[in-house]
Amino acid sequence: MKIVHTINELRNEIALQRSHNKKIGFVPTMGYLHQGHLSLVHISRKHSDYQVMSIFVNKMQFNDPKDYTTYPRDYERDFALAKDAGVDLIFLPDDTEMYQNRLVYIDIEMMTDHLCGATRPGHFRGVLTVVAKLFNIVQPDVSVFGQKDIQQAVIIQKMVKDLNLPVTIIVAPIIREPDGLAMSSRNVHLKGDDRTNAVVIYKSLQKAEELIHQGEVQSHKLIPAMTDIITSGKPKKIDYVSVVDYETLQPIESLKEKSVIAVAAFFGPTRLIDNMIVEKKGDTYTCIY
């Protein structure tokens, strides 16, 4: 596995692989890898021949400076895990390499006024800008993103479509801890009771699924039932429990053909997010989480 720090080195390596007709797969990350990240590599390998992973803690997408400085980092550990998972090349740029003269941004209207966009101003502008830059740098055929960050995955699909970027986006399932907590690099900050209590987020999604299978489709019924369960785990704060349309990410009164039920809550200082995609086929609803 190669590790490169500059755009030039990366482009030379990609050009070489392309000259051998290799299809390029790309998994962007902020490092501190866990099984969730590695599952994206496994999926990418099924769709491409040469695996690129970026590790870049993108300051621009952090609305809270403390969250940026305390974001966990362990590059040696990441290298070992990535190599095992079949990554061929790690791109590990520094801030100067990525943002030499930052004047141009990618932003999106409407789809970021709810969910995480409502409480994290500038976050998705940072995400879209860095992902667009990384796509231009790596020029992958395929890139894999986790359902875990569903708003991110949906707006990246929208950016690719609206800007005609020549890359296929795959959205990968959420990988969870044995008790159901969605894996996240930030979970390392969860201490004591906060860690055990955080499972209520997953339990609230299970409750929503149960209600949906009993015929409940109204947001004003699903949201309070989920909120009760999350509250029982004594979160420091619930940011949102929302039901939105998958395509537009706008709140909806009742479930549509494809909807998202999403949660964000703080346990101690740690902000956790999770979600479920609900698909309607005929009269049947399928919950994917």
| Residues forming the site for ligand AMP (CB under 6 A) | 29-30, 36-37, 39-40, 145-146, 148-149, 172, 174-175, 182-185
Residue 162: CB minimum distance to ligand AMP, A: 20
Residue 16: CB minimum distance to ligand AMP, A: 26
Q: What is the Cα–Cα distance from 171 to 158, expressed in whole angstroms?
A: 13
Q: Under DSSP, is residue 32 helix (H, G, I), strand (E, B) or coil? A: coil
Q: What is the Cα–Cα distance from 152 to 49, expressed in whole angstroms?
A: 25
Residue 110: CB minimum distance to ligand AMP, A: 21
In sequence order, which residues have a C-beta less than 8 Å from that of residue 241 and are 6 or more positions away?
Answer: 204, 223, 226, 227, 230, 261, 262, 263
154: enclosing H helix or E strand: helix 150-162
Find out whether 128 and 13 touch, Cβ atoms under 8 Å.
no
Buried/exposed code over 113-125 (b: 16+ C-beta within 10 A; e: otherwise): ebbbbeebeebbb
Residue 184: CB minimum distance to ligand AMP, A: 5
Whose Cβ is closer to ligand AMP: residue 55's or residue 230's? 55
Q: What is the Cα–Cα distance from 203 to 289, expressed in whole angstroms?
A: 11
Residue 20: active-site member: no
Residue 164 burial (10 A CB sphere; 0-12, 13-18, 19+): exposed
Indicate which residue of 5, 20, 34, 37 is catalytic.
37
List active site positions.
Answer: 37
